[in-house]
Amino acid sequence: MKWGIIATWEMALEGVIKVSNGLDKGMNSADAVEEAIKVVENNPKYRSVGYGGLPNEDCEVELDAAFMDGDTLSIGAVAGIRNFKNPISIARKLSIERFNCFLVGFGAEKYALANGFEEKNMLTKESIDIYEEKKKKIIEGSISPYEGHDTVGMVSLDMDGKMCVGTSTSGLFMKKKGRVGDSPIPGSGFYVDDNIGGAVATGLGEDIMKGCISYEIVRLMGEGHKPQEAAEKAVEKLNRELIKRRGKAGDISVVCMNNKGEWGIATNIDKFTFAVATADLNPTVYLARNEGGKTRMELVKE
């Protein structure tokens, strides 16, 4: 049986490498997604996920994360959670709850504490420095807020054919307190059904949500489209509709995989990196760019 894992952005590579060895030896896809995302959450070098994530307008790190099981369709999510080390693990734990499986803010923190999750101040000195510096530039008008965002999202398939997806992000830099993007929203930031496949998104949550793009990609794969076709069709359509109706479209990038381990990606920007590994492909990073409405890919790192 084939296995595979695909993830948004180059920052996912280390986690993908770590769990691809496991997946090759029979690790299940729920553990693979959680473990690989934790690697990104724990690295303060990545300024848009977990520890060291960039803060909101009030200089607080509020994190969003989600987990979905493609077999049971169970979903767990947290939004606007502060001061916990691994939001993805909290989201996974919530996915086994029959009720109350998506918690926000203080309620999510209360649940995490009651369930023994590790507390941690997620704001680093470096993030505070960047915040101060960017705040000055925003006031001067030399940069605009809400730039700087990269969600880690992953889709995995294990040798038993089970698929899971996960997302984790600090959302948009300088977001308003309480702002929630697409990443913890089922169907927008993520979706998986292991009778078909799974998809995750990254980019401007406010626009990604307008097309429920992850569900749309899974739906298209379910209609018989190959993952690459499904991803391109969905991104191209949402991008076109947003431009037609609103004059512009925010950044939208997606990765997806079907239950055969075939994968696809699409983007409407000119620099979207992603990491992928399958039974037939060693962990590899590619750069994708949108050229005239089509997504092109080139190898970055094997």
Per rule CB under 6 A, is residue 202 in the interface with ligand SD4? yes
Helix (H, G, I), strand (E, B), or coil: what is residue 173? coil
219 neighbors 241 (Cβ within 8 angstroms): no
Which region, judged by CB under 6 A, interacts with ligand SD4, from 86-94, 127-135, 154-162, 165-173?
165-173
Name residue, tokens 């992928």: 276
Report the distance separating Cα 80 and Cα 213, nearest Å: 22
Q: How many residues bind ligand SD4 (CB under 6 A)?
A: 14
- Site for ligand SD4 contains 181 (CB under 6 A): yes
Which member of 10, 34, 62, 182 binds ligand SD4 (CB under 6 A)? 182
Catalytic one of 8, 124, 151, 267: 151
Q: Which stretch binds ligand SD4 (CB under 6 A): 24-32, 113-121, 178-186, 287-295?
A: 178-186
Q: Which is nearer to ligand SD4, 27 or 174 (CB)?
A: 174
Which residues, 60 to 89, sit near ligand SD4 by CB under 6 A? none
Which tokens hold the place of 223?
């209609």
Judged by CB under 6 A, the residue of 53, 76, 203, 264 near ligand SD4 is 203
Q: Does 151 bind ligand SD4 (CB under 6 A)?
A: yes
Residue 197 corresponds to which amino acid? Answer: G
Q: Interface with ligand SD4 includes 169 (CB under 6 A)? A: yes
Contact status: 171 vs ligand SD4 (CB under 6 A):
yes
Binding to ligand SD4 by residue 273, rule CB under 6 A? no
Residue 149 as a binder of ligand SD4 (CB under 6 A): the answer is: yes
User: Environment class of residue 92 by beta-carbon count within 10 Å: exposed (0-12), middle (13-18) or buried (19+)?
Assistant: buried
Nearer to ligand SD4, 183 or 290 (CB): 183
Between CA 19 and CA 37 the distance in angstroms is 10
Min dist CB 51 to ligand SD4, Å, is 17
State the maximum Cα–Cα separation within the chain, in Å, rounded to a whole number. Answer: 57
151 belongs to the catalytic site: yes
The whole-angstrom separation of Cα 231 and Cα 75 is 22
Positive/negative CA dihedral, 251, 275, 288, 164: negative
Shortest approach of ligand SD4 to residue 297 CB, angstroms?
A: 18
Among 65, 172, 196, 220, binds ligand SD4 (CB under 6 A): 172
Nearest approach in angstroms of CB 48 to ligand SD4 is 6
Three-state secondary structure call for residue 119: strand
Residue type, 141: G
- Helix ranges (H only) for the chain are 13-24, 29-41, 87-94, 105-114, 125-140, 205-208, 213-222, 227-246
Instruction: Point out which span in 32-40, 103-111, 177-185, 260-268 binds ligand SD4 (CB under 6 A).
Output: 177-185
Backbone angles phi, psi at 286, to 5 degrees: -120, 155
- Tally the residues of the chain: 302
Residue 212 C-beta: closest distance to ligand SD4, Å: 13
Q: Write down the least CB distance from residue 299 to ligand SD4, Å.
A: 22
Residue type, 251: D
* Smallest distance, ligand SD4 to C-beta of residue 275, A: 15
* 224, burial (CB in 10 Å: exposed 0-12, middle 13-18, buried 19+): exposed
Looking at the Cβ atoms of 202 and 278, the one nearer to ligand SD4 is 202
Interacting residues toward ligand SD4 by CB under 6 A? 149-151, 169, 171-172, 181-183, 202-205, 208
Catalytic positions, please?
A: 151
